[in-house]
């Protein structure tokens, strides 16, 4: 079968996440970038699209024009990535799913739990793929952690500790900068700022690795910069449905922390520690053993890690290649659907609309608990209770 056609909405020139998607989608030669509505400014989006190599008639001015243009083409896109600001995800994702396209949506998938449930229902009813870009789960050693937990290396999981704490909004003098301010304004950001932006990555990764979903949580949310209505720091305690205890810290005022995504998993027979800023090393401490460093790219780790590692051991491998693993999983899922066969189980690791919905339920649970002095609340979406 030939290459798959790929389109992108958002990710225009100068955007933060656009280049990582284009690198990730292009890495394996599975997808060809053929269509885009890349910018909220029509002409800037068209112009940039053409400079990136799109044909003039597929460098669209906006996502609706792209939907109409692509809908009727024989060579229409097989997958569209939605990488626009958060408040637009629901409307765009819904429209493309309903028109029969597969979608990879940036996080957060929606702004409310109800919208999340609607997306899950549409994806199920249409049989289209709706993936959510928790792209950090594409790192080989994150997938290896999951494989180690699943094959029982750690025994029962007692504790998972997840952090996504950076210091990029720590400057009180910068709090009124429009590029920062909207993130803490409920009218634009919704019910949560830092947890909805970063905390959900950490929570999703914890669930992905331990194979358990958050059931209940208690949150302490604070605005360290007093002019902010929404939280810039949160500490969340969790209970997972398989019995694990969760501790999650997320912050945007942690000066000196850069990206700050880390995961530690402690089981009855061993502990693991991984950090996104040193993604090529995983620390493994077996009970009664010695601390070991597992290097990405070592042969024979697990099928999941071996498959997703792209560069020889000892060479740094980073975030766009983690995204590439999500894209390669999606290519396999799309091809399997077209060919009417089961997909390769080793590729069946991409995050789903159900994960996007669970995140949204957790966001609302954190906001509710935070307002009520940390009262324990249900973290599950109503549809999964």
- In the 8-state DSSP scheme, what is residue 265? E
User: What is the torsional sign of CA 8, 108, 235, 255?
Assistant: positive
15 binds ligand NAD (CB under 6 A): yes
Q: How far, rounded to the nearest angstrom, does the alpha carbon of residue 324 sit from its chain's CA centroid?
A: 13
Binder among 30, 78, 106, 231 for ligand NAD (CB under 6 A): 106
Of residues 40 and 239, the one with the C-beta less far from ligand NAD = 40
Binder among 6, 63, 101, 184 for ligand NAD (CB under 6 A): 63
The closest residue (CB) to ligand NAD is: 12
CA distances in angstroms from 153 to 1, 149, 205, 246, 281, listed in the order given? 39, 6, 18, 19, 18
∠ CA 173-174-176, rounded to 5°? 100
Residues in contact with ligand NAD, counted by CB under 6 A, come to a total of 23
351 binds ligand NAD (CB under 6 A): no
Residues making up the chain, counted from first to last: 385
Element (H, E) at 225: none
CB of residue 16 to ligand NAD, shortest distance in Å = 3
Of residues 323 and 364, the one with the C-beta less far from ligand NAD = 323
Q: Give the 3-state secondary structure of residue 295.
A: strand
* Residue where the block lists tokens 């995050």: 351
43 binds ligand NAD (CB under 6 A): no
Q: Which stretch binds ligand NAD (CB under 6 A): 4-12, 140-148, 225-233, 348-356?
A: 4-12
Binder among 4, 5, 6, 10 for ligand NAD (CB under 6 A): 10
12 binds ligand NAD (CB under 6 A): yes
Sequence-ordered list of residues with C-beta below 8 angstroms from that of 278, at least 6 positions apart, any chain:
none
CB of residue 62 to ligand NAD, shortest distance in Å = 6
Of residues 24 and 381, the one with the C-beta less far from ligand NAD = 24
Q: What does the alpha-carbon distance between residue 221 and residue 377 come to, in Å, rounded to a whole number?
A: 14
CB of residue 355 to ligand NAD, shortest distance in Å = 12
Q: 116-135 mask for ligand NAD (x: CB under 6 A)?
A: -----------------x-x
Q: What does the alpha-carbon distance between residue 51 and residue 41 come to, in Å, rounded to a whole number?
A: 15
User: What is the torsional sign of CA 141, 84, 351, 248?
Assistant: positive
Q: Which stretch binds ligand NAD (CB under 6 A): 8-16, 69-77, 286-294, 347-355?
A: 8-16
Report whether 120 contacts 98 (CB < 8 A): no
37 binds ligand NAD (CB under 6 A): yes
Q: Which residues sit at the interface with ligand NAD, rule CB under 6 A?
A: 9-12, 15-18, 37-40, 62-63, 83-86, 88, 106-107, 133, 135
């Amino acid at each position: 079968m030939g290459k798959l056609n790929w389109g992108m909405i958002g990710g225009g020139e100068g955007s933060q996440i656009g280049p990582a998607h284009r690198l990730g989608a292009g890495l394996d030669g599975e997808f060809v970038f053929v269509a885009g509505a890349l910018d909220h400014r029509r002409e800037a989006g068209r112009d940039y699209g053409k400079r990136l190599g799109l044909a003039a008639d597929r460098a669209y001015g906006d996502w609706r024009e792209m939907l109409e243009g692509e809908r009727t083409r024989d060579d229409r896109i097989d997958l569209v990535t939605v990488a626009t600001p958060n408040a637009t995800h629901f409307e765009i994702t819904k429209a493309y799913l309903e028109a029969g396209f597969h979608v990879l949506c940036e996080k957060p998938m929606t702004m409310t739990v109800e919208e999340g449930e609607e997306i899950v229902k549409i994806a199920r009813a249409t049989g289209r793929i709706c993936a959510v870009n928790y792209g950090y789960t594409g790192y080989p050693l994150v997938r290896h952690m999951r494989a180690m937990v699943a094959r029982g290396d750690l025994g029962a999981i007692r504790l998972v500790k997840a952090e996504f704490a950076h210091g990029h909004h720590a400057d009180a003098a910068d709090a009124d900068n429009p590029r920062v301010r909207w993130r803490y304004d409920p009218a634009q950001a919704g019910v949560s700022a830092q947890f909805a932006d970063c905390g959900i990555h950490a929570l999703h990764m914890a669930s992905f690795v331990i194979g358990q979903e958050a059931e209940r949580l208690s949150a302490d949310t604070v605005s360290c910069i007093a002019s902010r209505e929404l939280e810039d720091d949160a500490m969340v305690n969790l209970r997972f449905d398989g019995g694990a205890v969760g501790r999650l810290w997320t912050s945007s005022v942690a000066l000196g922390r850069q990206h700050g995504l880390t995961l530690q998993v402690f089981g009855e027979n061993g502990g693991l520690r991984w950090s996104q800023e040193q993604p090529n090393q995983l620390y493994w401490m077996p009970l009664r053993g010695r601390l070991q460093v597992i290097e990405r790219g070592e042969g024979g780790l697990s099928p999941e890690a071996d498959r997703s590692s792209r560069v020889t051991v000892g060479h740094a491998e980073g975030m766009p290649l983690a995204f590439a693993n999500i894209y390669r999983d999606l290519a396999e899922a799309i091809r399997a659907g077209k060919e009417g066969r089961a997909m390769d189980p080793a590729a069946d690791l991409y995050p789903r609309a159900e994960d996007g919905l669970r995140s949204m339920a957790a966001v609302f649970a954190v906001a509710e608990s935070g307002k009520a002095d940390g009262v324990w609340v249900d973290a599950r979406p109503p549809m999964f209770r």
